[in-house]
Amino acid sequence: MPITVEKLNYIYQPNTPFEQTALRQISFTINDGEIIGIMGASGSGKSTLLQCLNGLLRPAGGKIILDGIDITKLSARELNQIRRRIALAFQYPEQQIFETRVYDEVAFGPRNLGLDTGEVEKRVQKALIDTGLNYDYFKNKETASLSSGEKRRVSLAGVLALKAPYLLLDEPTAGLDFEGKVALINHLTDINCQYQTTIVLVSHDINQLVSTCSRIIILHEGQLYLEGYPGDLLRNYAALKACGIEVPTFQELIYRLNCRGWDLNDSISSLPEASREIGKKING
């Protein structure tokens, strides 16, 4: 079922001198089986939004309808059940990892689901392999000894091992090398195709979101600033720049050439379109 967010507000430390409104009147829908991207400058509210969606933070107002239920009204116990269906990978793996051994860390979620030992082992093995870690080498490693990229992979493996129908991933490729990023994104699109898993992907990399997501939402100072299909959003150069989004290089090039009087069509959404547009101008 789709997830519907209606007029969501979140305030940190309300009624104190440190009160900070992080989300204001956010409304949008996440369709079933879609990969939706969330972008926005630092502090725009992306992590807060994901933590509200997963019930870790309780909003000050608004609704989040998941599987037909408004989860903002649920008790802490009911929310524990919901979190098995809508799994969150934190922005910082250190916030998520608390077991001493890699195996136990990844097995934590599946064990909580009450699965038998054999199924838990199968899931841990697959999740570690899917996140690019050698099972035999890593299973007994101490989590404290892992590099930051390995910690990222282990924390993602723990989330993937839940096989949840909804995945919330907060900057999952941060800290991974180029090949690791490509492999992870390919794996996410595979899961999405194979199991129709709904994925919410937070990233600062517009190229990554444009090539992976069916829709993108842009937050700005806690508000929903832009929402649309990747191609349509990319045509909005000025609006993207205004809220601190780094636009793709081809768009920057067209913009700069236009500033020098080239008069190119700036309604383009891909590198081939940009090179055709420039070629037309050069060749008259």
Ligand X SMILES: Nc1ncnc2c1ncn2[C@@H]1O[C@H](COP(=O)(O)OP(=O)(O)OP(=O)(O)O)[C@@H](O)[C@H]1O
Q: Closest separation between CB of residue 47 and ligand X, Å?
A: 3
Structure tokens at 9: 């507000």
Name the E strands within the chain. 3-12, 20-30, 35-40, 61-66, 69-70, 86-89, 166-170, 198-202, 215-220, 223-228
Residue nearest to Mg ion (CB): 47
**Site size with Mg ion, rule: CB under 5 A:** 3
Partner whose binding site includes residue 82, from ligand X, Mg ion, none (CB under 5 to 8 Å by kind): none
* Shortest distance in whole angstroms from residue 155 CB to ligand X: 15
**Among Mg ion, ligand X, none, what does residue 110 contact (CB within 5–8 Å per kind)?**
none
CA-to-CA distance for 119 and 107, rounded, in angstroms? 10
Angstrom distance (rounded) from CA 8 to CA 23? 7
Interface with ligand X (CB under 6 A): 12-13, 20, 22, 40, 42-48, 91
The option from Mg ion, ligand X, none interacting with 199 (CB < 5 to 8 A, set by class) reads: none
Binding piece for Mg ion, criterion CB under 5 A, among 58-66, 88-96, 231-239, 276-284? 88-96
Angle CA(255)–CA(228)–CA(250) in degrees, nearest 5? 25
Q: Give the binding range for Mg ion (CB under 5 A) out of 39-47, 57-65, 133-141, 152-160.
A: 39-47
Question: Which does residue 40 touch among Mg ion, ligand X, none (CB within 5 to 8 A, set by kind)?
Answer: ligand X
**Binding partner of residue 13 among Mg ion, ligand X, none, CB cut-off 5 to 8 Å per kind:** ligand X
Q: What is the DSSP letter of 60?
A: S
Shortest spacing between CB 22 and ligand X, in angstroms = 4
Q: Which is nearer to ligand X, 15 or 42 (CB)?
A: 42
CB 3 within 8 Å of CB 66: yes
Three-state SS for 70?
A: strand
User: Least separation, in Å, of the C-beta of 40 and ligand X?
Assistant: 5
Q: Shortest CA distance to 199 belongs to which of 87, 57, 42, 103? A: 87
Site residues for Mg ion, window 142-201 (CB under 5 A)? Answer: none
Do β-strands 86-89 and 166-170 pair in parallel, antiparallel, or remain unpaired? parallel
DSSP-derived letter for residue 56 is: S
Task: Name, in order, each residue with C-beta under 8 angstroms of 155's C-beta and a sequence gap of 6 or more.
Answer: 89, 90, 93, 96, 97, 105
Q: Which of 44, 47, 131, 192 binds Mg ion (CB under 5 A)?
A: 47
Our CB check for Mg ion shows the closer of 124 and 217 to be 217
Q: Which residues bind Mg ion (CB under 5 A)?
A: 46-47, 91
